[in-house]
Homo-oligomer: A and B are copies of this chain.
Amino acid sequence: MRTVADGAWGGCKRYYQIAEPSFVSSVEEILRLPSSRSSDEQLFRDLMDRFTVLAEACSRFSQEVYRRTGTSVETDTKEMIERNLGIARSVFGKQSLETLATIYLYNSVGFDELRSALGPISFTFLRGKLRQLEKEGFVQRDDSSRGQSARFSLTHKGKMIARLGEPVFLYLRLVGGWRDAAPESTPPVKTGADPAPGGARQT
């Protein structure tokens, strides 16, 4: 069964048209590097290329959704912004994203374990947050567990969001340095290059 993902691994296309001015300086920088780069850097470049392909695919997907629903990004900008703001504020409100991402990684998690993973967060706040996410249809209590021993997992809708959103987290982790302790928004020290697509092999 062929899926979308198979296409992504079939070949590594590059999309130079979305490269920024910083792309040029990153190429210049790379040209000054020794010709035998480390395998870590090769891996970084390769993954960056793949993220670019996926981002392009997501962008085309979104354009197709707009087309099918008769939505024009150009003429409906204000309405779209309002909708996006509404979604960002209701769904991705305080600690929602953190809670969903953590439940997703645990698959199924108890209240205390979740609270411990989320760090400094009050019992009352997390209980309210879970109720809100349950009401919104992202989180469910596992059937066999109730009360103190209740376990939480993502609903279909919650998993859809987690799956769709996971590459965003992975991309940010990669450009911040995969193994660095603290997430940063700068490229990894080892390469010293901008995360522009396919830069390493263009002259």
Contact = CB atoms under 8 A, between A and B. Distances in A.
Contacts of A71: 178
Contacts of A196: 156
Nearest to A69: B178
Interface in A99-130: 101-102, 105-106, 117-119
Chain A interface, >50% SS class:
helix
Q: In the assembly, how many copies of this chain are there? A: 2
A138 B171 CA distance: 13
Bin the interface of chain A by size: 35 or more
6 contacts: A9-B64, A22-B155, A50-B61, A84-B102, A87-B176, A90-B185
Interface of A: 1-11, 13, 18-20, 22-23, 43, 46-47, 50-62, 64-65, 68-69, 71, 73, 77-78, 80-81, 83-92, 97-98, 101-102, 105-106, 117-119, 135-138, 140, 155-157, 159-161, 163-176, 178, 182-183, 185-186, 194-197
Q: Would you list the 8 A-B pairs with minimal beta carbon distance, nearest first?
A: A4-B57, A5-B60, A136-B185, A7-B7, A86-B183, A20-B156, A55-B163, A5-B57
